[in-house]
Amino acid sequence: MKKNVLFLVMLFAPLRFSQTDSVLSGVYNWSDLDLQVEKTDYFEKRQILEGSVTDNENLNVYALTIEPGKSLKEKNNEETLIIIKEGEVKISVKDDNKILIPGSIALIMSGDDYEIENSGDKDATYYVFLYKSKYPVDIQRGIETGGSFMINWNDLEFHPHDKGGIRQYFNRPTSMAKRFDIHVTNLNAGIKSHEPHTHRAAEIVLMINGNTEMEIGNGLYKGTDGDLYFLGSNVPHAIKNTGTESCIYFAIQWE
């Protein structure tokens, strides 16, 4: 991780000069996180990244692994996105609760506390994305567009296309964002999703499986299962499947 960060500082200094982001564009490898695991009696925490991005004064991304039968009750002062990586969990928000499998998500509005329990018979791991907007929180907007909700992987419809296919989770305003878009892409072997491009919204690409190479600025970065690419505002990027089988990854944008 340290080598990657030092290299990224040099590579992206010209790009970041006009930005206020403190989170570096690049790849954050799951294998590096094992070097700095925070352990308690029944869960492990792996810190992935934290800092300011284009529309958020703070973005905090980490992964938690909890033992079977254990649970955590969370006070939610910031909006929270949860993505299940491994195992099975039960999430309860207000009067709603669901058992979620890998690939499933929960989006929990600011002010809605929640409980997450490992409901399976093996360790469960999930990603947590906490973000605080630079703009006033709009609780009413979040309520009007659906409030807190959960989506199970098995309930998503797969839409094939010539490069692979897509599963759309949602694209809507929330209490913290005027637009929040999450989808999962299947990308066929040996091809690019698109040529290098830019957009104002910061983006996270989270690998589910497969081998990829992300072009970021003038550099190339490799990512596989569990790795996370962070792409800052207006930073040129393009992803390619470098494997021999279809790869799968989350694409997350908010502004």
Q: In which band, very low, low, confident or very high, does the pLDDT at 97 lie, cut at 50, 70 and 90?
A: very high
Per-residue pLDDT for 75 more than 80? yes
Section 94-120 average pLDDT: 96
Residue range 8-36, pLDDT digits in tens: 333 333 343 344 579 999 999 999 988 78
Residue range 124-173, pLDDT digits in tens: 999 999 999 999 999 999 999 999 999 999 999 999 999 999 999 999 99
Please give the pLDDT value at position 204. 97
Percentages helix, strand, coil for the chain (3-state, rounded to 5) are: 10, 50, 35
Whole-number mean pLDDT of the chain? 90
Residue 183 burial (CB < 10 Å; 0-12/13-18/19+)? Answer: middle
Please give the pLDDT value at position 20. 52
Neighbouring residues of 162: CB distance < 8 A, sequence distance ≥ 6: none
Counting residues of the chain whose pLDDT is more than 90, the rounded percentage is: 81
pTM score, two decimals? 0.90
- Asked if 230 contacts 204 with a C-beta cutoff of 8 angstroms, the reply is yes
Identity of the amino acid at 30? W
Section 222-239 average pLDDT: 96
Please give the pLDDT value at position 21. 73
CA-to-CA dists, residue 171 to 100, 216, 248, angstroms:
20, 25, 19
User: Domains in the chain, ordered, with CATH?
Assistant: 2-254 (2.60.120.10)
Please give the pLDDT value at position 196. 93
Residue range 46-74, pLDDT digits in tens: 999 999 999 999 999 999 999 999 999 99
Per-residue pLDDT for 209 more than 90? yes
More confidently predicted of 20 and 228? 228
